[in-house]
Copies of this chain bind each other. A is one copy, B any other.
Amino acid sequence: MRKPVIGVMGGGESASTEDCRLAYRLGALIAAEGWVLLNGGRNAGIMDASARGARDGGGLTVGILPGADTEQASRYIDVAIVTNMGGARNVINVLSSDIVVAMPGKAGTISEIALALKYKKPVILLNFDVRALFQACAGETLLHYVQSVEEAIGKIKELLGAGKLHIKQGCPKR
Contacts and interface: CB of A to CB of B under 8 A. Distances in A.
Interface of A: 2-3, 5, 12, 14, 36, 42, 60, 62, 64, 66-73, 77-88, 90-92, 95-96, 104-108, 110-111, 114-115, 117-119, 130, 132-134, 136-138, 166-168, 170-171, 173-174
Given A111-B111, A114-B110, A174 B86 contact: yes
Report whether over half of chain A's contact residues are helix, strand or loop; otherwise say mixed: loop
Contact of A173 (B42, B91, B95, B174): B42
B69 A168 contact: yes
Copies per assembly: 4
Given A2-B77, A173-B12, A86 B111 contact: no
A74 to B, nearest CB: 10
B88 A88 contact: yes
A66 B166 CA distance: 17
A66 B73 CA distance: 22
A173 B86 contact: yes
Contact of A84 (B77, B166, B171): B171
B68 A171 contact: yes
A95 B106 CA distance: 18
Contacts of A174: 66-68, 86, 174
A66 B91 CA distance: 13
